[in-house]
């Protein structure tokens, strides 16, 4: 790099690392090496690009610089690196750029066409086709279809490469059509449009229609071994009646007559019809690879361990905006949580006739091998941990009396998947309609699923316009199997939901009837705190405020306690309400983050709006509006989180901002609605309720 900086006056010497100067595909480094080839530098860059010990942020820029016309000699080594790489980022970067070298890819790269992970086989098909290998022309069609589909996906460079690959396929028999595709590619590559996803999708849609028609009229191009196997797999899927489920309604209709767990889980995820068959084919390919991997296993435990090695990556992750419990997302990005990986294990086991069952404990799910003789608990999301029932009971508070630790039916497991979908829709995308639909379906499949009940109530909290009447809400709360006996923090859900829904009398009845003998040392104070909240809702805000310090002192750091302290001061009409607000928001030492202040303002405003005010309801709403006013600006501060158990959580700052903005915006819009400021409320919803983007 020092040599390049000395020889090339166009390089910015303040940016003296390979990563920085080659971040753009038309970088100065690439231009320099194209004009003045240096084999020694290229060999060094190739060593960097293919070294698995180096970080991807070092390897990818080296790939960007290397993949250029005239460098065909690097193709075999890059192809082998792509085929064996344990980094999706490196593999994608190689497949995306290898065509630039101007050499045909080795046949060994075709092995990636058999990958069960949804995007890998399409990447490989498009890449080898762009390099002149006509083994997988239908993969190009599918990539174009995905680029112009409705499902959230960034078409970008893969759409452009698919258009170029389509031109290669049709070039010999239809030169005019190939020229039209190349013209579309040139337009997509133009700088003003290169990052315009709408424009790229429009170009991809036009090319897809033309290319699909051409492939249909040239069936002889679909006769490679891979294309024949693919067509046979798709035909088998279409002919199997157990796989003909596409919607949640289909799942509910067939719940008692036999379901394929893979197809049902994909239907719950809302996979588009155009992609459904390919997802099922991905599961079939994965099952075939697992069958090969477990051949010769000498025990059930060894079988499970080999499944783990084949299915779950060594480094697990979560991706922002992507529901990790959704098996469709697991197949697309190989990223999931306990529900997502359990769903994949069950789908593969069903295809291989292995005796696997889902098992549920509070806030967690895993698989169990149970063939009547051997019984092994196995946790795919926890590096394949094997724990006894007693250990799960100790760690998670599981109880067989409450339905935990038993083999679940497919319908019961799908109920868990649906309740997780509802939670994700509320917290990430802000779509209470889908959340309510999923929670209701979860309860229909398994009435005893308390999580589905709590999620349904949370959906009503998130969107007050969807709430049923008080009698129906009270009936929902009455169904909580844990309402009468509080046994831990988690079991305050029904009480908190009742309070947020404004059912203060019902909340007080639950608190008064609950048994607070629990290992949770904060339970008495928590009960007192909720009791004060309920008491204030029944019109006793001044007395509740007077009792606050004595009852809730130990929970002053919790969000509910801090928000309630603010709310009580306003609901009681206290003259020091504004001073209380500032003191609580500052947290004593000014250590609270701006985002936390914003979320705390939103919760306090919700409470204020819900509590009686000495001057009437409109005064309560105006006080709530005053408290929440600055909240949206406060939550614009980006944050970054780490996942639990050392796992990487790619929920970056921008996505947290969107999530916080939605949470605050929902309350803000509701308060404006109550004040008959409908246009302002709609403006807040438009600004704050946008979905998170898939990353």
Q: Which residues touch 683 (CB under 8 Å, ≥6 apart)? A: none
Report pLDDT for 174. Answer: 94
| CA gap 619, 407 in Å, rounded | 54
Report pLDDT for 7. Answer: 56
CA-closest candidate to residue 111, choices 295, 285, 247, 369: 285
Q: Give the count of beta carbons closer than 10 Å to the beta carbon of residue 527.
A: 20
Summarize the confidence of residues 659-676 as an average pLDDT: 82
| CA gap 277, 237 in Å, rounded | 7
Summarize the confidence of residues 34-53 as an average pLDDT: 85
Map 290-346 to HEC letters. HHHHHCCCCCHHHHHHHHHHHHCCCCCEEECCCCCCCHHHHHHHCCCCHHHHHHHHH
Report pLDDT for 65. Answer: 83
Using DSSP's 3-state secondary structure scheme, residue 635 falls into coil
**What mean pLDDT is reported for the chain?**
80
In the predicted model, is pLDDT for residue 62 greater than 90? no
| CA gap 521, 525 in Å, rounded | 8
CA-closest candidate to residue 323, choices 268, 373, 277: 268
In the predicted model, is pLDDT for residue 151 greater than 80? no
The top-scoring range by mean pLDDT among 153-167, 260-274, 369-383, 597-611 is 369-383
Using DSSP's 3-state secondary structure scheme, residue 433 falls into helix
Structure confidence by residue, pLDDT tens digits, 79-93? 999 998 878 888 989
Residue 5's φ and ψ, nearest 5 degrees, are -65, -35
Structure confidence by residue, pLDDT tens digits, 113-148? 988 886 788 899 999 999 999 899 999 999 998 887
Q: Give the count of beta carbons closer than 10 Å to the beta carbon of residue 120.
A: 20
Structure confidence by residue, pLDDT tens digits, 225-275? 999 999 998 898 888 888 888 888 888 888 877 789 999 999 888 887 778
Report pLDDT for 554. Answer: 65
Residue 649's φ and ψ, nearest 5 degrees, are -115, 110
322 against 353, higher pLDDT: 353
CA-closest candidate to residue 669, choices 645, 687, 654, 648: 687
Least confident of 157-166, 172-181, 198-207, 419-428: 419-428
CB–CB of 311/344 below 8 Å? yes
Report pLDDT for 651. Answer: 38
CB–CB of 82/108 below 8 Å? no
Summarize the confidence of residues 174-189 as an average pLDDT: 92
Report pLDDT for 448. Answer: 75
Report pLDDT for 357. Answer: 96
Report pLDDT for 463. Answer: 66
Summarize the confidence of residues 5-24 as an average pLDDT: 50
What angle do helix axes 493-500 and 450-462 make, rounded to 10 degrees?
A: 20
Structure confidence by residue, pLDDT tens digits, 534-591? 888 888 888 888 888 776 666 656 788 888 889 989 988 888 899 888 888 876 444 4
Structure confidence by residue, pLDDT tens digits, 399-416? 787 778 999 999 999 999
pLDDT band at residue 652 using 50, 70 and 90 as cut-offs: very low
């Amino acid at each position: 790099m020092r040599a390049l900086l000395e020889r090339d006056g166009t390089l910015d010497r303040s940016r003296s690392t390979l990563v920085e100067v080659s971040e753009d595909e038309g970088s100065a480094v690439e231009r320099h090496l194209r004009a003045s080839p240096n084999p020694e530098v290229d060999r060094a860059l190739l060593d960097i690009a293919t070294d698995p010990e180096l970080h991807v942020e070092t390897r990818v820029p080296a790939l960007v610089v290397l993949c250029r016309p005239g460098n065909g000699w690097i193709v075999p080594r890059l192809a082998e690196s792509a085929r064996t790489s344990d980094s999706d980022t490196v593999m994608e970067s190689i497949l995306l750029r290898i065509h630039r070298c101007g050499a045909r890819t080795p046949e060994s790269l075709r092995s990636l066409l058999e990958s069960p992970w949804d995007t890998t086989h399409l990447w490989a098909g498009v890449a080898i086709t762009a390099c002149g290998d006509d083994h997988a022309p239908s993969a190009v069609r599918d990539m174009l279809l995905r680029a112009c589909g409705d499902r959230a996906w960034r078409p970008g460079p893969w759409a452009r490469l698919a258009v170029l690959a389509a031109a290669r396929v049709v070039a010999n028999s239809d030169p005019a059509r190939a020229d039209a595709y190349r013209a579309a590619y040139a337009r997509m590559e133009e700088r003003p449009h290169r990052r315009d996803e709408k424009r790229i999708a429009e170009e991809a849609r036009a090319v897809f229609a033309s290319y699909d028609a051409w492939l249909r009229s040239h069936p002889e191009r679909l006769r490679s071994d891979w294309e024949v196997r693919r067509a046979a797999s798709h035909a088998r899927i279409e002919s199997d009646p157990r796989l003909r489920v596409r919607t949640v309604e289909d799942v509910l209709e067939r719940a008692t007559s036999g379901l394929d767990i893979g197809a049902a889980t994909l239907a719950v995820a809302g996979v588009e019809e155009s992609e459904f068959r390919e997802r099922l084919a991905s599961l079939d390919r994965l099952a075939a690879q697992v069958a090969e991997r477990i051949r010769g296993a000498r025990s059930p435990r060894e079988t499970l361990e080999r499944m783990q090695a084949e299915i779950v990556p060594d480094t697990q992750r979560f991706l922002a905006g992507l529901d990790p419990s959704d098996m469709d997302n697991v197949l697309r990005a190989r990223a999931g949580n306990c529900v997502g990986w359990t769903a994949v294990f069950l789908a593969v086991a069903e295809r291989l006739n292995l005796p696997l069952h889902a098992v549920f404990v509070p806030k967690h799910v895993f698989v169990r091998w149970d063939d009547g003789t051997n019984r092994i608990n196995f946790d795919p999301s926890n590096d394949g941990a094997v724990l006894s029932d007693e250990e799960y009971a100790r760690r998670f508070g599981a109880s067989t009396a409450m339905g935990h630790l038993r083999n679940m039916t497919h319908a019961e497991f799908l109920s868990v998947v649906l309740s997780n979908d509802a939670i994700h829709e509320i917290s990430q995308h802000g779509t209470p309609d889908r959340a309510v639909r999923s929670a209701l379906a979860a309860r229909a499949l398994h009435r005893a699923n308390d999580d589905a009940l709590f999620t349904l109530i949370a959906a009503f909290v998130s969107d007050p316009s969807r709430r049923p009447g008080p009698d129906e809400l009270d009936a929902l709360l009455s169904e909580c199997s844990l309402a009468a006996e509080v046994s831990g923090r988690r079991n305050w859900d029904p009480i908190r939901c009742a309070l947020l829904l404004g059912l203060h009398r019902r909340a007080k009845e639950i608190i008064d009837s609950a048994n607070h003998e629990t290992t949770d040392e904060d339970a008495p104070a928590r009960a007192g705190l909720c009791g004060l909240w309920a008491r204030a809702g029944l019109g006793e805000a001044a007395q509740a405020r007077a009792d606050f310090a004595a009852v809730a002192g130990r929970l002053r750091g919790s969000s509910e306690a801090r928000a309630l302290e603010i709310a009580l001061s306003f609901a009681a009409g206290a003259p020091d309400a504004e001073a209380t607000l500032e003191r609580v928001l500052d947290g004593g030492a000014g250590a609270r983050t701006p985002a936390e202040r914003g979320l705390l303002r939103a919760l306090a405003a919700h409470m204020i709006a819900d509590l009686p005010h000495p001057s009437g309801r409109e005064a309560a709403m105006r006080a709530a509006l005053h408290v929440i006013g600055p909240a949206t600006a406060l939550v614009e501060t980006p944050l970054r989180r780490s996942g639990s158990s050392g796992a990487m959580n790619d929920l970056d700052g921008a996505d947290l901002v969107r999530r916080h903005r939605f949470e605050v915006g929902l309350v803000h819009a509701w308060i404006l609605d109550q004040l008959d400021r409908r246009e302002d409320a709609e403006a807040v919803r438009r600004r704050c309720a946008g979905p998170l983007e898939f990353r």
